[in-house]
Amino acid sequence: MSLSHNAKVWLVLSVFTIGSFSLGVRDSGIHGTFWILLLALGKALFLGFRFMELQAAHPAWKCAFVGTLGILTGFLLGVASRVG
């Protein structure tokens, strides 16, 4: 049995969601926060490039999307490191 590409992406997104939930439940401090945000970044990239069809977009849009996600993730990690 072969899974379609959308089913594989859905499976990866589900694993990332379960992983971030399990990390959040354990409350493992800044390291847990880092991994949760990294999983969220991966989920956003999967969604953007697969379901928003960014793979066919102009390179400027790809850079803007990835750059915005990187800046936002960096900002959230900076806030989390000061709070935690």
Tokens of residue 30, six digits: 């800044």
pLDDT digit string, tens, across residues 2-59: 888 888 888 989 999 998 898 888 766 778 888 889 999 999 998 898 888 898 999 9
**What sections of the chain are H helices per DSSP?**
5-26, 29-46, 59-83
d(CA 78, CA 74): 6
pTM of the model as a whole: 0.81
* pLDDT at position 8: 86
User: Which three-class secondary structure state does DSSP give residue 50?
Assistant: helix
Apex 54 CA angle, 48 and 58, nearest 5: 145
